[in-house]
Amino acid sequence: MSDEWADSQIDVDGVKGCLRSFQNLKAKHGHLKVVLSVGGGGKGSDNFAAVAANHASRERFAHTARGLVKEYGLDGIDSNTIPPLLPPPIPHPSFAPPPLILPREN
């Protein structure tokens, strides 16, 4: 679920990996907060649905996320997932929305 090359192998600012580069930036600028975002719109959430659906996978994700936070000095993990789109529910024929009452203008 990770981009291992970008996370730990690509050359960035004289170190290997974006995560190590973020760690170095944070060490130089202590006021920075670094949060790793997982998922996101479009294809970013596709793999995460399978992880979220299984208890063992969720446990493994949580363990791995905690390891990344500790190893790279991150301030947290943002699980930014978007559930699959579902068709809107069909209202029951007897359902009527409440009337919209607007204030009277003077």
| Domain contains 45 | yes
User: Phi and psi of 73, rounded to 5°?
Assistant: 65, 35
| Domain contains 103 | no
Tell me if 46 sits within 8 A of 6, measured CB to CB. Answer: no
Question: Could you report the per-residue pLDDT of 23-33, keeping only the tens digit for each?
Answer: 888 999 989 89
Altogether, the residues listed in the chain come to a count of 106
Q: How confident is the model at residue 78 (pLDDT cuts 50, 70, 90)?
A: confident
User: What pLDDT is attached to residue 100?
Assistant: 57
| Domain contains 8 | yes
Question: Could you report the per-residue pLDDT of 34-71, keeping only the tens digit for each?
Answer: 888 877 666 666 677 777 778 888 888 888 888 888 98
Question: How many structural domains comprise the chain?
Answer: 1
Tell me if 80 sits within 8 A of 40, measured CB to CB. Answer: yes
| Domain contains 92 | no
75 lies in which domain range? 4-80
Q: Is 48 helix (H, G, I), strand (E, B) or coil?
A: helix
| Domain contains 99 | no
User: Phi and psi of 49, rounded to 5°?
Assistant: -60, -40
What mean pLDDT value characterizes the chain?
A: 77
Q: Which residue has better confidence, 73 or 6?
A: 73
